[in-house]
């Protein structure tokens, strides 16, 4: 019985580590290279962190959780605190492919220079997004 518990914990830890490694690889691999030239990022205000938000029309968590959270953050932080770019992955599948998006919602946190710092696959709450935005600001400084 104890052996099964140990095996389950080890598999869980390995899964978490693999997820974190793959997420970091996604950011380092082509996403950082394409961020400067990606047409989605045209018109970014310099020095203002960005949330690049991929969604779909059928995504219920996007409508009920992620979108309201992003709207609250925009209101709270103001226009110079954050900018949000919403991308419908069904209308722009090539953009979703370029960024390696495989589920909705997916949010990328970009620093003030448009470089990706974090990626969230699935719903990210307001506190997590604020921490990531503050970290992106600190990294850009």
Coil/strand/helix, residue 6: helix
Reported as a pLDDT band with limits 50, 70 and 90, residue 25 is: confident
Percent of the chain with pLDDT over 90: 57
Domain that holds residue 123: 2-140
Query: Can you tell me the mean pLDDT for 86-102?
Result: 93
Question: What's the pLDDT score for residue 2?
Answer: 87
Reported as a pLDDT band with limits 50, 70 and 90, residue 32 is: low
**Domain tally, the chain:** 1
2-15 pLDDT, tens digit per residue, is: 899 899 999 999 98
43-85 pLDDT, tens digit per residue, is: 888 889 999 999 999 999 999 999 999 999 999 998 888 999 9
Question: What's the pLDDT score for residue 18?
Answer: 85
Question: What's the pLDDT score for residue 43?
Answer: 87
Reported as a pLDDT band with limits 50, 70 and 90, residue 33 is: low
Reported as a pLDDT band with limits 50, 70 and 90, residue 31 is: low
Strands 50-55 and 83-88: parallel
DSSP H helices, 1-141, are 2-26, 32-35, 60-61, 67-77, 93-98, 126-140
pTM, entire model: 0.79
Domain with 136 in it: what CATH number? 3.40.30.10
Q: Contact 41/35 with Cβ under 8 angstroms?
A: yes
Among the listed residues 65, 70, 69, the one whose alpha carbon sits nearest the alpha carbon of residue 52: 70
């Amino acid at each position: 019985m104890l052996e099964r518990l140990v095996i389950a914990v080890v598999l869980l830890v390995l899964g978490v580590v693999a997820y974190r490694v793959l997420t970091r690889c996604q950011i380092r691999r082509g996403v950082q290279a394409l961020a400067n030239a990606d047409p989605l990022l045209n018109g970014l205000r310099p020095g203002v962190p960005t949330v690049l938000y991929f969604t779909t029309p059928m995504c219920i968590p996007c409508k009920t959780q992620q979108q309201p959270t992003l709207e609250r953050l925009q209101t709270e932080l103001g226009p110079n605190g954050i900018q949000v770019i919403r991308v419908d992955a069904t209308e722009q599948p090539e953009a979703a492919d370029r960024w390696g998006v495989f589920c909705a919602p997916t949010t990328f946190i970009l620093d003030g220079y448009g470089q990706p710092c974090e990626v969230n696959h699935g719903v990210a709450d307001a506190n997590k997004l604020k921490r990531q935005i503050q970290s992106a600001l600190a990294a850009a400084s």
